[in-house]
Structure formats: C-alpha cells, structure tokens
Structure 1
Amino acid sequence: MEDIPSNIMLDILSRIRLKPLVRLQRVSKLWRKYINDFYLAVMHGERFIEEPTPIMLHLNPPPPKRPRSLCFHVIDQSRTTNNTLVFRPKKVPDFEIMCKKLLSKSSITNIEFLGSCHGLIYVSEDDGEVVTTLAVIHPIKKQCYKLPTLPIPFYASQIQESCGIGFDSSTNTIKMVCVVLLRGDRPAVKKLCTMVHVLGTNKSWQEIPQVPSYPIVGEGIFANGCLHWLASYHDSPTKDERHVVSFDVKKEEFGLINPVKTVSYPTKREFNSCLCDHLGNLNGQVGYFCNRTTEVWVLDHKKEWVLHCNFEGHDFPYGYLKVLGCLNKEGDIFINCTPSDIGKDLFYVYNLRSRVLHEADFVGGEDESETNIVMFPNSLFSIHDIITNNNSIKKTCLRKKNVVVTGTKL
C-alpha cells in the first residue's frame, strides 16, 4: 500500500462511506494519516451527504439570570403512533462550557451563538457593549478553542458587522474572519476593517487590505471555499432586496453576489421588507430564505440563485420563520417559527419530495429560553480536532455518565 500514489489512495478512500472509513483508522498508522487528512474530508464531502445530527445549545440558567455555562444537547428523533415527528433533547448535556467568572455583581456577561461550519460552532461573549471573547467549539469531540483578543472593538449588537469561519484547502487550516465597522467622528463615512486569524497558530489577528462593498450581518455560511453573509439591511441600495457578500478563504478576497429576484407575491404574513431574510446551510449549499414570500433559494456553482422550494400555501402563525437547515440527506427542511402572539416556538418539517409541511413536536426544551439549534454534519470533518495542535485545545473534564465537573472556560 505504501507504493500506491497518495492521490490514488485518497481517491479510493473518498468512495467509502463514513462509518466503515472511521473503522479503517485502526488498520495502521498510514491509513489513519490518510483518513485524518483534511483534503480527504473535502473530497469525501463532495461525494457523500450523511445524515446530520440536530444539537441544541442554551445558556444555564436561562436569561435574565446570569449564565454560568453554555450547554450542548444532542436531539433524539422519534415518531408517535400518528406519525408525528418528535424532537427530544437529551436531559444531561453532552458538553458544557463554563462562563467567565464575573468581576462584580454589577458586571454583565452575554453569550451569543454566531454560526457554525463543518460542525464547529463559534460563539461570542460580551460585556453588553463589545465582544470580549470569541471561541470555536467542537460539541461532539468536546473541545473549545479560545481565539486571541481582537485588537479593535467588535460591537456586541453586530448590526453592521459579523464574522465567520471557513476552511482553507491550500493550507489545511481553519480561519476566522471578522469584518468590523470602525466607529469614528463622521458616522456618515463607513470604514470597514477585515481581520483574519488562523486557528492553531501563534499568530494573532492579521489585518488584510481587502474589505467588502457593504457592511455585513448575520451568520456566515461556508460553502465551496467561500464564506457568505448578507449585506447590511441598513446599507442596502433598496429595502426590497439584499446583496450577498462572499469571501474566498484561500485567496482572501471579497466578492458581491446579486440579490435574489423573488417570483412569488408576498404572503398574507405581510413582511414588507427583506429585514428578516437570512442565509442558511442546505446540505453544503448556500440557502437564502425570503420571509416575505417563504421562498427558499440556493446558490449554484455559477453563483446564480436557483429556486429550491416554496412554502407558499402553508399556514404559519404570524411571526419570524427561520430555516434551520436540512434534517436529512434527502433534503427535508427543518423550520423554526417564533410567533408574535405566543411565547412558545413552533417547529415544522417540509418534505422536499412531497412538498408537504408537517408539524413537529419539540419536547424537553420548554424550560430553556434563548436556545439555538444547529444541524451537526456527520462528515469526515466531524472526526477531526479543531486544530492539529492538541496542546492548544482545552478539553472538559467529565465524570462518568457524562456529567460535567469542570468545563472549559470561555
């Protein structure tokens, strides 16, 4: 086997499904080296889509109390006798990260979910005004990587700034990118700053000369080597459409993608602007959800928008809809609805093949406010550490039965 060229070996291994591939790591050190190669993870992800695992994260205790920790629960799925899909988070957290100890009773600390990439979740901790800590978390491998402190203020409101993580295939590294709006004496003049940090290196944040055409907001979606954000609503040329800003992680260059041209009429939900539109990851593709028309679009390889599906004709309560991602490899879409008139969130699953919307029950998370649900992709990336240098990763100490004793601190 040692005589087989590495490109041929990687091509062979990329054609094997995930579970047997993971078992093959035990065959030899050479096989383990191949299977742990990030390049194989990229090749494998282009050939296979595995069933994702939903994960719930929430603060403990929930707001308005001061959070002590950030908890991660794997969500089990089952069906009732009448075929209703039931989501039930595990009672005991699979992973728990302790929050920073407060300096005084009057101190403020907030933790916000920012996004995810290849199963890595990134969060921020702030003091009510500026972000004090950025961290990347691997909830399955129970790892947390704390990034160096940003040398410039990154405001917690993130109305006109955002960040994201992506994979650089040329160096087999993960980069975090922050685009920050610099506040100055002239508010009408917007000056942006782009900072990049390579996880696992001794380098701090590096400022690059490239900046996007518009300030950015929302979760950064990584696909096809690029991060994608929505252009700030407040800086869009019109209030009816929004550009998408892309960032090539390898070349470290920004691009601008034309807005979606909706084909449906606004529904009776009567969202009269694109303020509530958002991006999402749909089995490795960039998805754009329009809250006014309930259309879902995906970005093709030509960087053009293609209509994926439409929830038109389905009755949702008036409120904010969020596409959480694909529930399975068939592409069924998991939807969260936050109604305006009631406090309880509602959940739906849209069957892509039958084009039927099904209500779903979410049991066990009612006591947890400010929750987020992430679709964890079961891919080769999910078996990797956050970085190759394990000395930079802090692991949680766990008792038996997965009860947290002390957690990694943000």
Structure 2
Amino acid sequence: MGGEELPVDSIYNILSRLPLNSLARFQCVSKVWCKYINDPYLEIMHAKRAMKDPTILIMFQLNYVIANLKFWRNASTSTSLSMLVTKEEKNSSTQVVITTKNNNPPYMEFPSKDSDSRFMVEDSIILGSCKGLMISSQDPPRKNNNNNNNKTVLLVINPLKKECYKLPPIKIWSCTSVFYEREVCGLGFDDSTNTYKMVCVVLRNQNKIRSYVDDDDDVVKDDLCTMVHVLGGGTGDSSSSWREIPQVPPYPISGEAVFANGCLHWLVSYQLKYWPSGVPRKVICFDMTKQEFGLIDPPRTLAVWAKEHLVDLDGQLGLVYDDVSGRKHCIEVWLLNPETKCWVIHCRFNKKPPFPRNQFMKVIGYWNKDAGDLLITDGCRARLFIYRLKQGVLHEANLFYENNNARRADFRLFQTTFSSTLRRGSIKNT
C-alpha cells in the first residue's frame, strides 16, 4: 500500500480493521503511512468497529543503580517495563502461571524519581493511567545555579509505542511529610478538544508549613492551586504550557487518580480534622471539559473501618473497601453508575488464605471482565491473586520473574487503545 494505489476510503477501511500493535509498527513504514495512521478519522473508525485488543499485564520494576559505592549520591534510579504472559490450565479455574515474556530483557526502560521521594502514591511507580497512557515521574535535570530541588518531571509513557514524554518540571510533592496528603496529579482525556490533559493540585507555597488540624475551607482556597498541562496543545512548545485555573477542590485530596466517564477521580484526604477515622471518604471528581470539581458521596457500606482505594474497572469507576481492622475480615468492591451517581455492589468476599495476614490488598482491575473476575496484589506488590466472581473462589497466581536490581514492583493491566491524539513531536520525547 503506497498511498496512491488504493482509494483513500479503502485505505482507512483496511487500517481500521487492524490491531493496534500492528498500526504502531506500520507508522515506521513511510511518512504516508504515518499520516494515515495518525489521522483522528482513523481513530473514530477504529473505535466504531469496537476492536478489542486483549488486556496485557505489565510489571514495572524500580531499579537502583549505584555508580560509585563510595558515594550514594551517585546512585540513580530507573524503571523497567516488562510484559507478562499468562497461562491457565485447561481443566482448572485456579491454576494460573504468570511469567515474563520469553525471559527477554525489559520491554522498555525509562529514568525514575529517587526511590526515597514522597512522590510515590502508596509506593506505586505508576501514578495513574488514561486510555493506554501511563504516568510516572523522575527528578529534573540538575543545572548549575538553578534550584530544582522541589520540582518534579512528570512522564507520560506510551507502552504501545515504547515512547516516554517529559512534561515541564513542576513544583509538587514537597519532601515535608505534612504535605503528603494534599498534592495529587492525574491524566485525563477531554473529548471536546480531543486532547489529553495533565491535572495537578499543588501547594501554592510549599515553604509554608501547616498542621493537618489547621485544615479548613480557607486553608484549601488559600494554599492549593490547580495546574493544567495540555499534551500536544499544538504550540510545539511544551516548556511554558502549565497554566493555573481558578478552581480548586472543596477538600484536600490524596491517592491515585482514576479517569472514568470524562472525569478524574480522587478520594478526600483522610488525615483531616473534619474527616474522622472510620467515616467513608467522599470522592472528588474533576470534569475534563468543564474543568470543574465536584463531590460524589460514598456508598452506604458496613465496612466503615476500612482502607479505601479507587480502581479503573474497564472504564468504570470502582471503589474498594479493604477491612484492615479485622472487624469484618472482608473486601467490598463497588461500581459507580455514571448516570445516577449511585453505587452498586460488584462483589463482597472474605479476607482469608491465600491472602497474607493483616496486609492491605489492592484491586488492580478486571482479570476477566465478562466473568467479573478481579486481579489483586498484596501490600508488598510481590504476589498476585485472582478472585473468581461466579465461583466465589480466591486463589493465588504462580508468579515467576527475576531481577536482582529491582527494589520495588508495580503491576498494571494495560488495555491497548488508539492514542493518535498524542502525536510525535507535539511533546518533548526523552
């Protein structure tokens, strides 16, 4: 297909039937092919055909490399990304083996922020995801006479294209622990402009120390600001594209953002005087088109003495309650109805072996959406579990991988998606 031999409609028709990983490779054939594949019209056609590529399990590993044993400050951190392969026994619903693909070297690598940094959401390497793109962070480049100590470079990773994009450094996530539950970031997609947007809620003055008990409405309005960065905004210069918007969340927020139904979602920070322990936290949402914050009430649940986290369940917002107090010994998973803003229970099951005792468990996502099965990891991110909804069976997957330099692991489910709106050259590539 040279680009001239076939009618344009026929070319789009053919390309719209191909899997996304093939389209990603075909961009390298020629400029003509790249032009067709990066056309938003092809994205629309591809979506209408509802081609569903299989969900891939990805393992991110934080590697600590010491360049000089005498000087720890010469140590550096990098993250390796590995695609995992799953094998299930034909006559068993419980035997699942997960390994790295063909024992190959990492699929891709990229620089990471120092492992001692507080810019890690619950020790996660990945800070969020949206439509096949993922967020991580790294330390900014050190320059003479330039104080970047309080700045962070956010990275947008496209695993499908093996590309990593740097965003302009931003002051976020001070090393002072008092700010830990107030600054957040999230990546969302604005359908009205067909663009990705990075949203960061940050402290206006990170040198101004307040205690948690000082939090009130005035503190939120005075101390927090919302910064937005449009990815591939069309200017060709991403160095000055952070801009402040007048809206701030009604409460300080924390945790990893989940993008669903055109909005980013976070939980209200739990370390606040007006959010006592044992009371389910509300969800803060940010409409990507209107650029406005809103509140969503939590579900009425019996698991009030629990640790909550949000999860993306195939484009739906999920809320997980993990009873870490030992009172109910259960995990609840709820789904939000985007129309009614009401929660419906997806499943409730007991925390029992093979779960490790007294550990926080994190739901990663759907293991099998049609069956409603869930993939779960433990607090140390070293083991994987599968909950079979229809059978009510919980079992551990056999996980095999080897990386002696890894200091931390993070597992994510990756659904390949057409991200042609993130075009080459529109954002600085690492």
Structure 1 and Structure 2 fold alike (TM over 0.5): yes
Q: Structure 2: where are the runs of 5+ without partners? A: 1-5, 141-147, 324-329
Aligned-partner residue type, residue 106 of structure 2? P
- 1:104-123 correspondence runs (5 A): 112=120, 113=125, 114-123=127-136
- Using the TM superposition, give the Cα deviation of residue 299 of structure 1 relative to its aligned residue in structure 2, in angstroms: 1.0
Alignment partner, residue 306 of structure 1: 344
Shift of 1:16: 5.7
- Whether 1:72 aligns to 2:81 is yes
- Alpha-carbon distance, 1:140 to partner: 2.5
- Report the Cα distance in structure 1 between the residues aligned to 2:321 and 2:414, rounded to whole angstroms: 23
Deviation at 1:142, TM superposition (A): 1.3
Report the equivalent of 2:195.
Answer: 173
Q: Is the 8 A contact 1:230 1:242 kept in 2?
A: yes
**Residue by residue, what CA displacement relative to the aligned partner does 1:274-316 show, whole Å, maximum 9, x if unpaired?**
4x31001111111111002401011112221111111237543
When structure 1 is superposed on structure 2, of 158-167 and 128-137 the one drifting more is 128-137
Amino acid paired to 2:231: L
Name the CA distance, whole Å, in 1 between partners of 2:112 and 2:209: 35
Structure 1 residue 321: Cα displacement: 0.3
Q: Would the aligned equivalents of 1:52 and 1:328 in 2 still touch at CA under 8 Å? A: no
Per mean C-alpha deviation after superposition, the further-off stretch among 67-76 and 56-65 is: 56-65
Deviation at 1:43, TM superposition (A): 8.1
1-structure distance, mates of 2:232, 2:8: 32
Change (3 A) 1:55 1:193: same
Q: Hey, what's the Cα distance between the residues in 1 that align with 2:14 and 2:347?
A: 34
Please say which of residues 34-43 and 304-313 is displaced more in the overlay: 34-43
Corresponding residue for 1:398?
Answer: none
1:328 counterpart = 2:360: no
Percent identical pairs in the alignment equals 39
The Cα of 1:354 is off from its aligned counterpart by: 2.6
Letter aligned with residue 233 of structure 1: Y
The corresponding residue for 1:401 is: none
C-alpha distance 390-68 of structure 1, shift in aligned 2 (>3 A)? same
CA distance in 2, matches of 1:216, 1:246: 10
Aligned to 1:380: 418
Q: 1:48 to 1:116 in 2, by over 3 A?
A: same
Q: How far apart in 2 are the matches of 1:379 and 1:354?
A: 31
Q: CA deviation at 1:20?
A: 11
1:286 corresponds in structure 2 to 317
Mean CA deviation greater in 219-228 or 154-163: 154-163
| Counterparts in 2 of 1:304 and 1:44: CA distance versus 1, 3 Å | farther
How far 1:366 moved relative to its partner? Answer: 7.0
1:371 aligns with 2:409: yes
TM-score with structure 2 setting the length: 0.73
TM (normalized to structure 1)?
0.76
- Note the C-alpha offset of 1:335: 0.5
How far residue 230 of structure 1 moved from its aligned partner, in angstroms, is 0.8
Are residues 98 and 180 of structure 1, via their aligned partners in 2, closer, same or farther at CA, if it must alter by over 3 Å? closer
1:321·1:337 contact (CA, 8 Å) conserved in 2?
Answer: yes
1:143 alignment partner AA: E
**Contact kept? 1:290, 1:296, Cα under 8 Å:** yes
Runs of 5+ unmatched residues, structure 1: 267-271, 395-407
Whether the aligned pair in 1 keeps the contact of 2:183 and 2:202 (CA below 8 Å) is yes
Write out per-residue CA displacement over residues 250-274 of structure 1, whole angstroms, 9 at most, x where no aligned residue.
1111110001211xx55xxxxx734
Give the number of equivalent residue pairs.
369
| Partner of residue 269, structure 1 | none
* Worse overlay, 66-75 or 56-65: 56-65
- Superposed CA offset, 1:167-219 (max 9, x none): 11111111000011345365423322100001124342110001111111111
Equivalents in 2 of 1:256, 1:146: separation in Å?
A: 31
Q: Secondary structure at the match of 1:294?
A: strand
How far is the alpha carbon of 1:42 from its aligned partner?
7.1
Q: Distance in 1 between matches of 2:51 and 2:279?
A: 37
Could you tell me how far apart the structure 1 residues matched to 2:44 and 2:318 are? 20
- The answer to whether 1:155 aligns with 2:174 is yes
Which residue number corresponds to residue 53 of structure 1? 56
1:110, distance to aligned residue in structure 2 (A): 7.8
Instruction: For residue 70 of structure 1, give the secondary structure of its aligned residue in structure 2.
Output: strand
Task: Tell me the alpha carbon deviations over residues 132-190 of structure 1, each in whole angstroms, 9 at most, x when there is no partner.
Answer: 2211111231111111122x443256322211001111111110000113453654233
Q: Residue 273 of structure 1 aligns to which amino acid in structure 2? A: W
Provide, for residues 100-131 of structure 1, a one-character-per-residue CA deviation record: whole Å limited to 9, x for no partner.
8x9xxxx9778742111122111123599844
